[in-house]
Amino acid sequence: MKLFTWKVLIAAGVLGTLFLAWQVADALLLVFAGVLLAILFQRIAGLVRRYTGLAQGWSLGVVLLLLAVLLIGGGVLMGQSVVSQFDQLSQQISGAVQQLPGSLRDQIMKQGQDASSWLNRLQTVASSVMFFLGDLVVVMFTAIYLAASPGVYRRGVILLVPPRGHERAREVMDVMGDSLWKWLIGQLSAMAIVGVLTTAGLLLLGIPSAPALGLLAALLEFVPLIGPFLAAVPAILIAFAQSPQEALWVALLYLAIQQVEGNVVMPLMQKKVVDLPPVITIAAIAAGGVLFGLMGMFLATPFAVVMLVLVNMLYIEDKLGEGRHFPSEDKA
């Protein structure tokens, strides 16, 4: 009877914890985003320390100072240009929709009633982006505190584990940190390459607002599989307003860039990055989007990386007794 009561209490505690986590899911997502950014800050600070001999705290300060200079300087030098580019992009998309063939335009009108309604939806998206930027400020401060004193928070997490599991918990956290760092490196590299290639290609094709479209392609590359498709839509619409042939060339450009990214860039990095199976990536993004919206989609893939590490180390390795296995190791 006591054993049954104990099991009921454990089950109730687990359900209560899950319910509480669901209620504060948005805050937990921001914390997870802060962890990602903290890993980035700390690893870059480690590189600064290696080459300069500065202490870790001073190295982190240098990284944050350089980031602030980059963001403020970039905002001053490019802010007005970027705003102007995206304003032109919005107008060009509206004009492109109006110039589509009648049947296709009517189909779009059914979805958005008219071009102005469609633009209102874009404004709603822009408003969501502003809230996202507000969350980004919270994420930034979270990341700074985590990167400044990582040991404090690591010890706090480890204390939640029974003493006999402390060493294993440290190992799991180390592997998770390394895996997320490798994923970040791969993702940021892909974003930079896609952004540069897209901007250069659209400039060569004479497509208006090429820098804004390139920036959009780079940002949406953070959402694997779905992001590149979404990034191509406005560029193809703008090109179609000039001619169907231009739209075809733009579509081929985006397809070629994705082929280069998927078949040249990523294979070169697969020995150093975590290569998630496509099905897991799609499922994670779909679930993240349905449950948590835009933020969930952005963080779905790194969360899947964490889950992959936990399953491999705590279930496959510890419970089943098999060697540790990560998808990227098949191609190493």
Spatial distance between the Cα atoms of 274 and 59, rounded to a whole number of angstroms = 27
Burial code (b: 16+ CB inside 10 Å, e: under 16) for 45-72 equals beebbeeeeeeeeebbebbbeeeeeeee
Round to whole Å and give the CA distance between 201 and 253: 7
Cβ–Cβ under 8 Å, residues 188 and 180: no
Residues in the chain: 332
- The Cα 284–Cα 291 span in angstroms is 10
257 closest CA partner among 222, 297, 223, 229? 229
Hey, what are 77's tokens? 């030098």
Under 8 Å between Cβ of 155 and 53: no
State how far the Cα of 46 lies from the Cα of 32, in Å rounded to an integer: 21
d(CA 31, CA 37): 10
Phi, psi for 160 (deg, rounded to 5)? -75, -15
Q: Within 13 Å and on the Cβ side, how many CA atoms surround 267?
A: 6
Predicted pLDDT at 39: 93
The number of C-alpha atoms within 13 Å of 285 and in the hemisphere containing its C-beta is 17
| 112, two tokens | 């958005």
Distance set, CA 141 to CA 44, 148, 153, 185 (Å): 17, 11, 15, 21
Low-confidence spans in the chain with pLDDT less than 70: 1-9, 14, 17-19, 21, 74-130, 132-133, 266-275, 323-332
The pLDDT tens digits for 79-115 are 555 556 556 666 666 666 565 555 555 555 555 545 4
Instruction: Work out the angle between the directed axes of helices 2-23 and 25-52 (0-180°, nearest 10).
Output: 80
**Using an 8 Å Cβ cutoff, are 128 and 298 in contact?**
no
Q: Which amino acid is at 62?
A: V
Q: What number of CA atoms fall less than 13 Å from residue 222's CA on the CB side?
A: 15
Q: Which helix (H) or strand (E) holds 241?
A: helix 226-242
The pLDDT of residue 124 is: 60
How many Cβ atoms sit within 10 Å of the Cβ of residue 172? 22
